[in-house]
Chain A
Amino acid sequence: NAGVTQTPKFQVLKTGQSMTLQCAQDMNHEYMSWYRQDPGMGLRLIHYSVGAGITDQGEVPNGYNVSRSTTEDFPLRLLSAAPSQTSVYFCASSRVSNTEAFFGQGTRLTVV
Chain B
Amino acid sequence: EDQVTQSPEALRLQEGESSSLNCSYTVSGLRGLFWYRQDPGKGPEFLFTLYSAGEEKEKERLKATLTKKESFLHITAPKPEDSATYLCAVQAGAGNMLTFGGGTRLMVKP
Docked CA distance A112–B96 (Å):
33
B residues less than 8 Å from A90 (CB atoms) = 43-44
Docked CA distance A106–B39 (Å):
12
A98 near B31 with CB under 8 A, answer yes
Known: A97-B91, A98-B31. A31 touches B42 (CB 8 A): no
A residues less than 8 Å from B45 (CB atoms) = 103
Q: How many residues of A contact B (CB 8 A)?
A: 27
- Identify whether the interface residues of A are mostly helix, strand, loop, or mixed: strand
B residues less than 8 Å from A100 (CB atoms) = 34, 46, 49
A43 near B100 with CB under 8 A, answer yes
B43 near A45 with CB under 8 A, answer no
Docked CA distance A19–B53 (Å):
44
Indicate whether A102 reaches chain B with its CB closer than 8 angstroms: yes
A45 near B98 with CB under 8 A, answer yes
- Interface residues, chain B, CB within 8 Å of chain A? 31-32, 34, 36, 41-46, 49, 87, 89, 91, 96-103
Q: Report the 6 A-B pairs with minimum CB-CB distance, sorted nearest first.
A: A103-B43, A97-B96, A43-B100, A100-B46, A98-B32, A42-B102
